[in-house]
A and B are shown apart, each in its own frame.
Chain A
Amino acid sequence: MLELTGPGKAHTCDGQTRRDFLRVGTLGAMGISLPQYLRARELGAIKPTHDNRSCILIFNLGAPSQLDTFDLKPDAPAEVRGPFKPISTRSSDIQISEILPKHAEIADKFSIVRSCFHTAAAVHDSGWQMMQTGRQFTGGVETPHVGAVVSYLGGRRSDLPPHIVLPELMGSGGGNLPNGQAGGFLGKAYDPYALMADPSQPNFRVPDLLPPDELGSARIERRKRLRDIVERRLDSFEASDDARLLDQNFHAAYRLMTSQQAREAFDLSMEPEKVRERYGMNRFGQCCLLARRLIEAGVRFVTINTFLTVFDEITWDIHGSKPFTSIEGMKNIVAPAYDQGYSALIEDLDQRGMLEDTLVPTLAEFGRTPKVNPAGGRDHWPQCFSLTFAGGGVQGGRVVGASDPIGAVPADRPTQPGEVLATILHSLGIDLDTHLPGPGGRPFPVVDTGNREIRELF
């Protein structure tokens, strides 16, 4: 049951009228069809002028140290300031860490928020929930990833799924909690499509995207027809969300696998070698390049996980001891690849005239302890951390908010995860007063009431 009436207005279950309020009954995981999406857009969930906006969300899994990247404290005591020096950038107001030299060259293209904080526990999983959904999961309610919200309200723009995660979904964060990278209460139909491959591998191809050679289109058609004979009688599945989801996924998969557009979007070999090298021949760099191609092909939202897990991988999670990462590991391995991939992406988007319509937020689950720990690393610290934003209407070369002299707490303009989410939705033209069909079909605001975009960025 979809209750969308007259332009700009919809009736809620109790008969009240609220502007820009979408209620999609108990559809849950069923999703809604294209005409309904269009209808939703008509109602103003996405401004028509912003329908060409897209987002490449880079999630810095492991959580970078604010004090060693974008919020250096050269005047702080040695145990706080750490080993790295600040360098000047193309923006006279901004200094950043020497481990990000390529960022310095494009500092007029992105802005930094130095006063983000949240109140969830300092475990990765909680931070992932907070920063990707704007809230922590409580009361049995799992809130959706911002990309799922965009998919839900915006729908598909091409043969490709509206939200794609590169290269894989997040793995374990050690807290046994859901990681906020799913459709949540919108249903698994709004889970992202995850690539599940490393695009920097020499023989990279999307696993199983294309049918084997011996399956021509006639045979695919025939198999589909024969399969329908078996599928027809399955009444017992109609109340199962998972069973309906599988059915939907079959339909989406047919569309994807037979699409020339999709095939080409994933084909990195169509890029000149020089371009591929500019992004860096590593997993993160090639994910950035692939993200640009996917956006060009009509994908609304791409999430790049810089790493897959914090265990046994060199990541931003610089506790200093195994199975985590040392500060040298960050300096020598993590930062160079990140610096190269990110700067290449921003430059490339800019040169192609895509930056204005592509928001690139770089988020993380938290920051790191102001004091260097005995292992020479830094531990988890949600009380204050830095994020960056570029494109999608965001002005470059700005610094928003500030931390105290040791980077421990916001000293100016404390910024909540809800405001970060609001910033992304706002950039993509989504009215922040929009409501989603929440648990039990009840209205659920896209961001908690009171959270607005970070105005200083626009």
Chain B
Amino acid sequence: MEIYFGFQRWFSVHGSRFSVEHPLPNRELRTENRERRRRFLVAIAVAALHCLPTQATAEETSADLAILPSSVELHGSASSQRILLEWLSDGGTAVGPVEDPVTWQVLDSSVARTENGRVFPVADGETFLQAQLGDRDVRVPVHVAGMPEPANWEFSRHVLPVLSKVGCNQGSCHGALAGKGGFRLSLRGYDAFGDHFNITQESRGRRVEPAEPGRSLFLAKPTGAIAHKGGLRLDFEDRNYQVLSEWLLQGAAAPSHDDPVLKRVEVLPAEMQLGLEQRQPLIVRAHYSDGRVEDVTQWATYTSAQEPVAEVDEHGLVRVVGHGEGAISVWFSSQIVVARISSPYPHELDDSVFQEASRSSFIDEIVLEKLQQLRLEPSARCRDEVFLRRAFLDTVGILPTTEETLGFLNDTQPDKRWRLVDDLLSRPEFTDYWAYRWSDILAISGRRLKPRAVKAYYKWIHNHVEKNTPWDEVVREVITARGDSLDQGQTNFYSLHQTPEDMAENISQAFLGLSINCAKCHNHPLEKWTNNQYYAMANLFARVRTKGWFGDEGDGEGLITLTVQQRGDLMQPLTGKPQPPTPLDGEPLDFDDPSDRREHLADWLTAPENPYFARSIANRIWASLFGRGIVEPVDNLRISNPASNEKLLTAIADFLIRHNFDLKQLIREILISETYQRASDPLPTNRDDHRFFARHYPRRLMAEPLLDAIAQVTKVPGEFTKIRLDGNSVSDTSEYPVGTRALQLFDSAVESSFLDTFGRNRREIVCECGRSNTPTMVQVLHIHNGDTINSRLQAEKGWIAELVAAELDDRTLMTQAYLRVLSRYPTSEEREDWTTELAGLSDLPRRELLEDVYWSLMSSREFLFQH
């Protein structure tokens, strides 16, 4: 027993890892909070009204009060509603609960009453709830209905949420696939009918005793009346116990298909701006199809998406512990909502900093708004040479040549950055670079596909990037691919994913940034996707048939021909029946609709109204240009992983939709924004920013552009002659003539220890997470001792060899080297240092000196990073 007790404690520890209280005396705490709130409101007011004369006025005029929720809906004698009096900022954002004593009053006490921060029903009718604070008061309407009837607990609406909240149906207890102790529940209550059966009928009904609920095993065990390996879960005094026991007493009514459906879950406040150490209780309400609204704060599950910023306990009490933006995801009955918390940095910045910052795109407007809210100072515009190198690497994946660098630096026209961008977007290397990036998502790899298939698949995407085909059309071609996989390259997506389940999962992953895999076996525990939705989605692919290769790499030509049949459905294992073919939360198709169901999916998926499609690709592009997504990681756009700037993501997604999914337009718009052009030099007032784009974040070059840059500088191209296949067998390839750049490889299986060491995406799965840009020690050893740089510096032909022949003076040598490697002139300080160093090395063999000079530039972070 003792062991199991320990085990239960383990869970409670997990529930609140950081719930260590700071034992401050109450009065002190209150005073301190009041003071903090005052200072905080001032800060907000100053942020909002930048021209106010004094701070004191600011507080009086900007702070406002609101009761949460804005109307109280009560139904039946067992209902009640938690209430809060909340301070609001000018913009209506919640800035913390009122800490001072509030006088609550229901105007018509024959309709409702209030007690301990809750409203309880008395009789049917309408009235108002009033909160009085000093000489101010606020009111909200109260509506009471259903009063004559006693509480009528329903299985789906009330019983299952209780079981979820106290943990009965979690994965480690009865929610395990095999159940626990002979009693099985569906994970977090996704199968109401099965659960009701197991509770009331299974084991000859011995679990329930409706006449005497307390003697039911169902209650006696979790209350500890009978030994329970899962420990004490319910207290007799508890409302949870009340719900379960009364439900039993009322006859343990079964769920029905006519039960009201949960339409949406609401969390209050949904947006907060709070200071460090401030606390905020949340209120959660469930809205049902029968019009009823219930306070489910007690039964929701809370998780923080950014624990370094905000923590939350099991009751929904938020505590701010850091600066930046936090989010709390609230789960109730398989639905998720998110409450966001903004916690400004303590930087004293004048508002003119933000007002006067220049703007060249709608992007800047939105980013600056966020920076102002969070008190993060934007870095200045980067220097020309920095912009040049950055724009080259981000759009075409190569370094500018010395001629291009000089041409740009000497250009005195004010629009030269814009012209550079337009020029870059029309270069052939643009096509190679972006075709390569999309090949990562399409998983184009010779480890899974035969060489001819790899080539056809790659050619297809390369052609589309070259033509700048709108992204929705590209994706539609993948989804509705048919025919011969050599002829129709995109059909190879179906060679890689050969079951309806795989197809549904990978289409969602690649083009919506959604991972629905968990819902294959049960409702997604942290997301809204249900097992029904999963099989409804997968059923869209049930009629896809492939002839030819069946995915076994040892076998055949590796080619398929894809056809679509007019019948056939995919069974959902849980029900033994197919689900109506439906794209996730879209509209279902008739089972007997003879058309290719994938057309319907493509319509839904690429529609402007689809909340995931445009956001997913817009976020991928942003991440590619900034080194981090607005949602990070980019492969995970689930609701509980919110964007660092929601408005920004929505705006660039809308931009794409307005421009018919023309990706080049979005890339251009981002590149010309001031946000993209910010310097990477940190300011004291933004150095802690890693999410809000106050400055540019330096990052190591991607493996492929880095290898190409080394080849470009040394004028010694790489050779790609081998393909490393499954089981580590190696075969020769003649696909890549000498001079092929790494970004032109169409197969991630081409052997290159450099690319592997520097973290290229192996394309084993559909995920950008397959790529790593972390600078490891193995990489450093390779740069120092490996042959990629060293052998190129020593090559008989190449840049160093040419330099040996050209007799340059030291100054020219260094100017040339800096321009070639770092795309800039040396600073006067650097010139002095080099002059001193080189003077001492005049005896050295010329070749050795040149090798060492170039090595030192190419091993520097300035070369290895883009910044």
Contact = CB atoms under 8 A, between A and B. Distances in A.
A and B interact: yes
Interface of A: 14, 16, 119, 121, 138-141, 161, 171-172, 174-176, 188, 191, 193-194, 196, 207-212, 214-215, 219, 222-223, 225-227, 229-240, 242-243, 245-247, 249-250, 252-253, 256-257, 309, 311-313, 322-323, 383, 408-409, 413-414, 416, 418, 439-440, 442, 448-451
Contacts of B309: 440
B861 A442 contact: no
A237 B696 CA distance: 10
A229 B856 contact: yes
A172 B764 contact: yes
15 contacts: A140-B306, A207-B753, A207-B757, A207-B782, A208-B784, A214-B794, A226-B837, A226-B856, A229-B856, A236-B698, A237-B865, A313-B727, A439-B322, A442-B321, A451-B10
A448 B10 contact: yes
Interface stretch (B32-40, B362-370, B584-592, B680-688): B680-688
Contact of B7 (A161, A383, A416): A416
Given A176-B515, A233-B829, A439-B308, A239 B784 contact: no
Contact of B830 (A175, A230, A408, A448): A230
Interface stretch (B14-22, B111-119, B289-297): B14-22
A211 B784 contact: yes
Given A139-B305, A243-B698, A230 B860 contact: yes
B615 interface: no
Contact of A230 (B3, B636, B769, B857): B857
B308 A249 contact: no
Nearest to A314: B727
Contacts of A322: 552
B862 A245 contact: no
Given A253-B777, A442-B322, 9 more contacts: A139-B307, A207-B757, A211-B784, A237-B865, A238-B682, A245-B775, A249-B775, A253-B780, A418-B10
B322 A448 contact: no
B739 interface: no
A256 B782 CA distance: 13
Interface string B751-780: 001000100001011010110011111111
A230 B778 contact: no
B303 A234 contact: no
Contacts of A416: 7, 10
Nearest to B838: A226
A247 B779 CA distance: 12
A236 B862 CA distance: 10
Interface string B703-724: 0000000000000000000000
Given A212-B790, A250-B780, A450-B13, A234 B862 contact: yes
Contacts of A249: 775-777, 779-780
Given A140-B306, A211-B784, A449-B13, A240 B698 contact: yes
Given A229-B830, A230-B857, A234-B861, A239 B687 contact: yes
B9 interface: yes
A210 B784 CA distance: 9
Contacts of B781: 207-209, 253, 256-257
B108 interface: no
Interface of B: 3-4, 6-7, 9-10, 13-14, 17-18, 22, 170-172, 176, 178, 180, 303-309, 321-322, 447, 509, 515, 517-518, 525, 552-553, 635-636, 679-682, 687-688, 695, 697-700, 726-727, 753, 757, 762, 764-765, 767, 769-770, 773-782, 784-787, 790, 794, 822, 827, 829-830, 833-834, 837, 841, 848, 852-853, 855-857, 859-862, 864-865, 867
Contacts of B764: 171-172, 309, 311
Best-surrounded residue of A176, A188, A235, A323 (most CB of chain B within 10 A): A176
B551 to A, nearest CB: 8
Contacts of B698: 236-237, 240, 242-243
B308 A440 contact: yes
Contacts of A247: 861
A235 B679 CA distance: 11
Contacts of B765: 172, 174, 176
B864 A246 contact: yes
Contacts of A238: 682, 687
Given A209-B781, A246-B775, A233 B830 contact: yes
Contacts of B779: 249
A135 to B, nearest CB: 8
A227 B856 contact: yes
Best-surrounded residue of B10, B176, B726, B781 (most CB of chain A within 10 A): B781
Given A207-B753, A223-B852, A139 B774 contact: no
A246 B6 contact: no
Given A176-B765, A208-B786, A139 B304 contact: yes
B1 to A, nearest CB: 12
Contacts of B304: 139-140
A30 B765 CA distance: 33
Contacts of A246: 700, 775, 780, 861, 864-865
B138 to A, nearest CB: 34
Contact of B859 (A227, A232, A236): A227
Given A172-B764, A229-B856, A236 B726 contact: no
Given A240-B697, A322-B552, A176 B307 contact: no
B786 A207 contact: yes
B776 A194 contact: yes
A450 B13 CA distance: 8
Contacts of B794: 214
A329 B176 CA distance: 30
Contacts of A171: 762, 764
B865 A243 contact: yes
